[in-house]
Amino acid sequence: MTGTLLNVVTILAGSALGILIGSRFSANIQQSVVTGLGLVTLVLGVQNAAQSGNILVPLLSLVIGTILGELLDVDGKLKAFGAWLQARFAADPSEAGGAQAARARFINGFVTASLVFGIGPLAVLGPIQNGIDAADIRLLAIKSTLDFFAAIAFAASLGVGVAFSALPIFVIQGGFALIGMLLAGSAGAALGAESPLIRELTASGGLILIGLALVLLEVKQPRVANMLPALIVAPFIVLGASLLGVTLYP
C-alpha cells in the first residue's frame, strides 16, 4: 500500500499547488487549460484503446458495462458523493449567490480527476505489483509523478474537487493492492502488461477516457462514469473465452 499512499499524497500536493496557481488565472485561461487537458486525455485514450488485440472485447465490454452502469446509475451515485463531499467539506457560506455553480464545479473536478487518475494500466498494474512485493513501487512512483503534474493542471481550472479524487483513488488502488497480496507468487506473474487480461482492460479504459475527453472538449456530455463497469466486464470476457477455448487473437 506504500505506493498507493505515495500516489494519494502527490495528488493532494499537486491539487494544492494547482488551486494556488489557478486563483491567478482568468476564466479564459482556465477554459483553455481544460481544452488542452481534453486533447491530452483524448490522445491517452486512443493510445490505451489501441492496445487491444481484438477490438470486439473492449466493444462488448463497453456495451455490457454501460448497460450495467446505467441500471446501477454509477454516474449519479458518483456525482451525489461529490455533492456530499462539497457540502460537507468544501462549501463556502460566502458564496450564497454562486453556490450552485460552485457545487457543479466541485463535482466536475472530482468526477473528472477520479476517472483520469483511476483508469489506465498504471492504476491497475502498479498497485498489484506493489501488493505482490511491498518494496516494489516503481510503477506507482511513475504514476505519482504523472498525477502530480496532472493534478496541478486540473485543480488550476477545475478547483478543489480535484483534491478529493484522492479518496476513490485510495480505495480503487488499495483494492488492487489487496488483489496483488492474494496473488503473490506464480499467479501474480501472469498479470504482466502484455497479458490479454490487462491489455483488454486497458483498452476498455481507453474507450472510457475518450468519452471523458468529449466532456472536457464540450463536444458531448456522456455519462462517462456509467461506463466504468466495462473495466470489470473485460477481464471476465477474456477469462470466459479462455475457459471455452475461444481464440481471441487469431
Mean of per-residue pLDDT scores for the chain: 85
Tell whether 218 is covered by a domain. Answer: yes
pLDDT (mean) for 236-248 = 86
In this predicted model, which residue has the larger pLDDT, 243 or 65? 65
pLDDT of residue 60: 94
pLDDT of residue 96: 45
pLDDT (mean) for 14-41 = 86
Least confident of 54-63, 94-103, 110-119: 94-103
pLDDT(239) > 50: yes
Q: Where residue 103 falls among pLDDT bands split at 50, 70, 90?
A: confident
Least confident of 104-113, 184-193, 221-230: 184-193
Tell whether 249 is covered by a domain. Answer: no
C-alpha cell at 200: 483488454
Please list, in sequence order, all residues whose beta carbon lies within 8 angstroms of the beta carbon of residue 187, skipping any fewer than 6 positions away. Answer: none
Determine the angle formed by the axes of helices 166-182 and 2-22, rounding to 10 degrees. 160
Contact 235, 201 (CB under 8 A): yes
pLDDT(180) > 70: yes
pLDDT of residue 194: 67
d(CA 173, CA 124): 7
- H helices of 23-55, in order, are 27-49
d(CA 45, CA 37): 12
Q: Where residue 44 falls among pLDDT bands split at 50, 70, 90?
A: confident
Q: DSSP code of 97?
A: T
Tell whether 237 is covered by a domain. Answer: yes
pLDDT (mean) for 180-190 = 60
In tens, the pLDDT along 160-172 reads 999 999 999 999 8
Tell whether 176 is covered by a domain. Answer: yes
Q: Within 13 Å of residue 14, how many CA atoms lie on the same side as its CB? A: 27
How many structural domains is the chain composed of?
1
Q: What's the pTM value of the predicted model, to 2 decimals?
A: 0.80
Please give the share of the chain, as a percent, with pLDDT higher than 70: 92
Query: Which range marks the domain in which residue 76 is found?
Result: 2-244
Contact 145, 99 (CB under 8 A): no
In this predicted model, which residue has the larger pLDDT, 242 or 8? 8
Tell whether 228 is covered by a domain. Answer: yes
pLDDT(188) > 60: no
Tell whether 96 is covered by a domain. Answer: yes
C-alpha cell at 65: 458495462
Contact 71, 231 (CB under 8 A): no
Neighbour count for residue 26 (Cβ, 10 Å)? 8
Tell whether 250 is covered by a domain. Answer: no
In tens, the pLDDT along 1-21 reads 788 999 999 999 999 999 998
CB burial of residue 114 (10 Å; 0-12, 13-18, 19+): buried
pLDDT(120) > 70: yes
d(CA 3, CA 1): 5
Contact 122, 143 (CB under 8 A): yes
Contact 140, 122 (CB under 8 A): yes
Query: For residue 52, which amino acid is it?
Result: S
